Amino acid sequence: MTTETTAGTTPETTAVTTTETIAVTTTETTTTPVPLVLAGARGHGRWHLDNIRRLQRAGRVRLAGICELTPLADEEIPDGLGTPAQSPDLGALLDRTGARIAVLCTPIPTHTDLALTAARRGVHVLLEKPPTPSYAEFRRLADGIDEAGVACQIGFQSLGSHAVPAIRELIADGAIGEVSGVGGAGAWARDEAYYRRAPWAGRRRMNGTDVVDGVLTNPLAHTTATALALLGTTRADDVTGIETELWRANAIESDDTSCVRMTTPRGPVAVAATLCAEHPGEPYVLVHGRSGRITFWYKQDRVLLQRAGHGPQEFTYGRTDLLDNLVDHLTAGAELLVPPAATGAFMRLVEAVRTAPDPRPLPDGAWRTDPDGDRRIVPGVDALVAAVADTLSLYSELGAPWAPRKEASLG
């Protein structure tokens, strides 16, 4: 239909001859820890609790409160975080604690209202991705943040990688010649329990409200956001066209095996993603140049440079944590790494997925269950996902047996 495991191996990794390690840049300890509140401390919120504990130990922040519908038990709060105040009412908790930052890791449909609840109190925001489930909500969020005059950081952690500016510099220096496009590939596996983790999981909408919890827009959202960032096309008006092919093997509303091609003035961005991989691997972004290519495994901050007349070179970079960056922005005037405007192009993708026809179910013969019977696998999808990134084509142009065939227009 047109309208992120175990590390994997790609052909490019076999010829690496040079490795360079670049250390993570450390940040000076602030004199007074910045008080913050975490909304959504279970599920992925546990990662935020651990990260807050790390920064609290460094004297950067202080966990002043936790907002959850059901309070956390003592054993759910990591050691070293003290006894933060708890309330299911974010506004009341912010007023009570005097927090300067709200970290929001809540269901997607709640993002805008909670972020604006904080903003109207002068509280700065770290908001999990995707920012919102629709472009209209994104505009409401961005406009409200601007009106309140607070900072908002969107949680695309890959955009804190020091590899991102390094790759941009390689491109600007002509290391791989003229860039012809960027591909992205994410082949992950999620069992059926993944879709039972929350009422909104795997939903396109719920109770009349947009959710858009699909593979491109949530679990592997970083792939597209990172590809757009490397190309330097992150703002909404950088995108002039979008083609989507949305499929699902699981019994869900949203897509779990999809691809997209976005048209920009600097070339196409084509990304394929699945949660039904045979052999799950590390997602990556691939920059195509006339005389070389750059592969970026963004979860590992690892870069492979291949170019004519040179041996392959591999680099490992450090990463700036986005909450750390937000604190530096507030205390030392550092530039915010991922403000809402830097996710406008990604939100054009979210809107395209939201307004596309519902994902088409794969035919029964196109998927199988794993030996344990707890997840669905699409045979051949790993290679298909990689081929999208490699050729900048869509599933239908690559001859996927379950996708209506059409002639490739890019490659």
Rounded Cα–Cα distance for residues 367 and 257 (Å): 11
- pLDDT tier at 244, thresholds 50, 70, 90: very high
Task: Return the pLDDT at 407.
Answer: 52
3-state helix, strand, coil in the chain (%, to 5): 30, 25, 45
Residues of the chain with CATH 3.30.360.10: 162-318+366-398
Task: Return the pLDDT at 254.
Answer: 98
Q: Could you tell me if 285 and 230 are in contact, meaning their C-beta atoms sit under 8 angstroms apart?
A: yes
Q: What is the mean pLDDT of residues 52-64?
A: 98
Residues of the chain with CATH 3.40.50.720: 34-157
- pLDDT tier at 45, thresholds 50, 70, 90: very high
pLDDT at 81 > cutoff 90? yes
Q: Could you tell me if 345 and 236 are in contact, meaning their C-beta atoms sit under 8 angstroms apart?
A: yes
What's the gap between Cα 237 and its chain centre? Answer: 20
Q: What is the pLDDT of residues 207-225, one digit of tens each?
A: 999 999 999 999 999 999 9
Task: Return the pLDDT at 351.
Answer: 98
> Phi-psi category of 129—alpha, beta or left, where left has phi over 0 and alpha has psi -120 to 50?
beta
- pLDDT tier at 406, thresholds 50, 70, 90: low
Rounded Cα–Cα distance for residues 83 and 328 (Å): 25
Range 34-157: architecture per CATH: 3-Layer(aba) Sandwich (3.40)
Average pLDDT over the chain reads 92
- Percent of the chain whose predicted confidence (pLDDT) is above 70: 91
Q: What is the mean pLDDT of residues 6-35?
A: 44
Other CB atoms within 10 A of residue 95 CB: 13
pTM summary value: 0.91
Other CB atoms within 10 A of residue 363 CB: 10
The DSSP-derived string for 300-335 is TTEEEEEETTS--EEEE--B--HHHHHHHHHHH-PP
Range 162-318+366-398: architecture per CATH: 2-Layer Sandwich (3.30)
- pLDDT tier at 6, thresholds 50, 70, 90: very low
Q: Could you tell me if 256 and 274 are in contact, meaning their C-beta atoms sit under 8 angstroms apart?
A: yes
Q: What is the pLDDT of residues 270-286, one digit of tens each?
A: 999 999 999 999 999 99
